[in-house]
Amino acid sequence: MRKIFPLNILKRDSSKKRGIHGKQKNASWDHPYLFSLLKF
């Protein structure tokens, strides 16, 4: 459950045209992008 929830958030995001691994890297570098993912 802990791993599936973040992956679903990344799959649902359509603001970046990257794969899931790229979105993970982008979220670790770009804090505003991370906060936009965590906002519901």
Q: 4-15: per-residue pLDDT in tens?
A: 778 888 888 888
Q: What is the pLDDT of residue 40?
A: 59
**What is the identity of the amino acid at 39?**
K
Average pLDDT over the chain reads 87
Give residue 1's pLDDT band: very low, low, confident or very high (50, 70, 90). Answer: low
Instruction: From residue 34, give the alpha-carbon distance in Å to each of 4, 38.
Output: 17, 6
- Model pTM score: 0.72
Block residue for tokens 């995001």: 13
Q: Which of 19, 1, 8, 14 is closest to 33 using CA atoms?
A: 14
- pLDDT score of 39: 87
Statement: residue 25 has pLDDT above 80: yes
pLDDT in the model for residue 22: 92
